[in-house]
Chain A
Amino acid sequence: MTETILKVEKLKKWFPITRGLLRSLFSRRELYVRAVDEIDFEIKEREIFGLVGESGSGKTTTGRMLVRLIEPTSGKILYRGKDIVSMSDEEFKPLRKKLQMIFQDPYESLNPKMTVFDILAEPLRVQNVAHGDEIYERVCKILEDVELTPPQEFLQRYPHELSGGQRQRVATGRALILNPEFIVADEPVSMLDVSIRAEVLNLMLQLSETHGIAFLYITHDLALARHLCDTIAVMYLGKIMELASADSLIKEPLHPYTKALLAAVPVPDPTSKRAEVTIKGEIPSPVNPPSGCRFHTRCPQFIGEICKKETPSLVEIGSHHYVACHLYR
């Protein structure tokens, strides 16, 4: 049995909405954007865990909380049994080595004034794990790992001298250089061209095998998630609607939202005619999410009052297949 590396319990993030002085005088009620609202899941060693959802569903907020870039409103994030939310910064610093992140846009996540060498050496210096020649050696080694070879050719380049794919490799290298156990990859290929996407993703797959790294892969692209991830969780308005192994989620989707998402994915095959889109409207505002099941306002399989009143909890239906829907209870 592989060990659980990260466990999330009742994780919640509500962003307060700041208002003008006058409005806050006249209305006492605090308003919040309920970005993430009590979610639970766990990630095993070497697992690639996909978090899928539309924009505004809270996937990025979740990812950022897991590496402590945002502080949760409440809930626990257990890294190998230890809660990283309640830690002080000093206590957390050594763990930072183990928990890293790759950002969405490689055009913005690399400092344009730093060379590739400096970008990759910075984590080593900050964490004080290598000195002098060792830094040089480790930077060269990591460049080889992310297939930017020969490394000497890239060390002194600036980000603007690299293509998008190469930049994302540098960003991946920066996340890897401290030998992490877990990396959050937030839409790492959405800014890249189709022909280079697979290259970066295959690199991730390979690294997860050779270096034994677990990934949280955040994406809106179900087709990519299907081919990359071991487990997929579908989020909607800050809640997990369905969680299962990639195979069973794609082949036997249970939640009406997952079914709708799957039906909406365009298929690269002109002979298959897709069914009509059954879902009307757009994702509601997370400031005032619908009561009960958050999907009830758009659900094609709405069954009545219970959907409006009671929030369905995530329950296990099949083996390792969880769904939060009143249809299954």
Chain B
Amino acid sequence: MPTLLDVKNLKTYYTTLRGYVKAVDGVSFAIEKGEAMGLVGESGCGKTTVILSILKILPPEGRILDGNVFFKGVDLVKLSEKEMRDKIRWKGISLVFQGAMNALNPVYKVGDQIAEAIRTHEPNVSKKEALERGRKLFELVGLDPDRINSYPHEFSGGMKQRAVIAMALACNPDLLIADEPATALDVIIQAQVLQLIKQLRKTLHLSMILITHDLSIVAESCDKLAVMYAGKIVEYGDLATIFKEPLHPYTQALIKAFPDVRAERSPLVSIPGSPPDLLFPPSGCRFNPRCPYSMDICSKKEPVPIEVKSKMHQVACHLIGKR
């Protein structure tokens, strides 16, 4: 069986008047059936653009310049818009949008919005059947099925997030992409939502990409981790391995930047400087201006991802190449 999703050397640039914004610049990763991968990085590092490229819902200024996205062996980059809509989106890959608070249309009933998603992708389903499926989905995500005729403003933040998850599950996808599913929610609600996602993955055998800036959320809900910095994946592999022994200086700093509530009180660690402008990324390794271990070669040559020990741990850093 082919890998469920195999992204190879994906390049997506945005055209602006000042030049190309290299938002995604040679990104590769793979997800097997049933696996969950965390895609982590700061704002503006290109995480969301990766997802928009996979689903081909980029804004007009964005273009996939190079690379392949194989989904069950089919290259999505080559598919037409109609094929994407009829075969891939929602049935194969669905998306839980960022900011669920605003992802629902305030003037339509929640149930009608779920029915619309079903009927767009499966035109033979009648509205009545679609609503019936909506009720089942509501039950699945822990909402009262009788609330299907409510408007979004009648839902609390946590309920809206559940409804958006229900909508993403409407056409039985194989891969669920969740873009910051828990940010802007209070901790307790956040924990409830993450627990729901975990439980759904188990019962529905879903694969998942979880996009977030919060490493601690990834730590408890994923198997794999890809750390992105300025349009590139700097470290990729098995989650537990990376947490135990992060090799890229950026990953190391990022892990330290998340304080553990249970640990002894200790000074907070920051990464000096700020993320680069992707219109004019630094030459060589893009992290070199902020890197504490920067060497001569770092600003001259771009490091390529190297496998460390096993295939399941790749790092793009000259420090590792040297060893």
Chain B binds chain A? yes
Q: A264 with B272: in contact, given A193-B42, A193-B43 (CB under 8 Å)?
A: no
Instruction: A202 to B243: give the CA distance in the assembly, Å.
Output: 24
A267 to B214 CA separation, bound complex (whole angstroms):
10
B158 is an interface residue with CB less than 8 A from chain A: yes
Task: Check if B240 sits within 8 Å of A194, measured CB to CB.
Answer: no
| Closest CB in chain A relative to B270 CB, distance in Å | 3
Taking the complex as formed, is B34 at the interface, i.e. its CB lies under 8 A from any CB of chain A? no
Distance in angstroms between the alpha carbons of A314 and B157 in the assembled complex:
30
Is A266 in contact with B262, judged by CB distance below 8 angstroms?
no
Partner of A195, one of B188, B266, B270: B270
Q: Are B272 and A223 in contact (CB under 8 A)?
A: no
**Which residues of the partner chain A approach B190 to less than 8 Å between Cβ atoms?**
264, 266
Question: Interface size class for chain A?
Answer: 35 or more
A residues 91-141 touching B (CB-CB < 8 Å): none
Chain A residues contacting B191 (CB-CB under 8 Å) are 263-264, 266, 274, 277
Closest to A274 in B: B220
Enumerate chain A residues within 8 angstroms of B258, measured Cβ to Cβ. Answer: 194, 223, 268
A4 to chain B, nearest CB (A): 23
Which listed segment binds B: A26-34, A224-232, A318-326?
A224-232
B255 within 8 A of A: yes
Q: Name the one of A199, A220, A227, A270 contacting B239, with C-beta atoms under 8 angstroms.
A: A270
Please tell me which one of the listed residues B158, B195, B220, B267 contacts residue A202 in the complex, with CB atoms under 8 A apart: B267
Write the chain A residue with the least CB distance to B142. Answer: A280
Which residues from B are CB-within-8-Å of A228? 268
A270 surroundings in chain B (CB, below 8 A): 219-220, 239-240, 243
Encode B243-264 as 1/0 by CB contact (under 8 A) with A.
1000000000111011111100
A-B contact count (CB 8 A): 128
* Chain B proximity of A270: nearest CB distance (Å): 5
B271 interfacial by beta-carbon distance below 8 Å: yes
Known: A54-B187, A223-B259, A227-B259. A246 touches B42 (CB 8 A): no
Q: State A265–B189 Cα separation when bound (angstroms).
A: 11
Given A198-B269, A201-B268, A277-B195, also A269-B260 (CB < 8 A): yes
Cβ A267 vs Cβ B262 within 8 A: yes
Whether the Cβ atoms of A193 and B243 lie closer than 8 Å is no
Contact between chains at B220 and A277 (CB < 8 Å): no
Min distance, Cβ A140 to any Cβ of chain B, angstroms: 22
A308 CB-CB contact with B under 8 Å: no
A250 interfacial contact with B, CB 8 Å? yes
A299 contacts the other chain (CB 8 A):
no
* Partner-A contacts on B (CB < 8 A): 42-43, 156-158, 186-192, 194-195, 213-217, 219-220, 239-240, 243, 253-255, 257-262, 265-272, 274-275
Chain A to chain B contacts (Cβ below 8 Å), 30 pairs: A55-B186, A164-B274, A194-B213, A194-B257, A195-B42, A195-B254, A197-B257, A222-B261, A223-B259, A223-B260, A224-B259, A227-B265, A247-B265, A250-B261, A261-B187, A261-B188, A263-B191, A265-B216, A266-B190, A266-B214, A267-B216, A267-B219, A267-B260, A269-B260, A270-B219, A270-B243, A277-B191, A277-B195, A279-B192, A282-B156
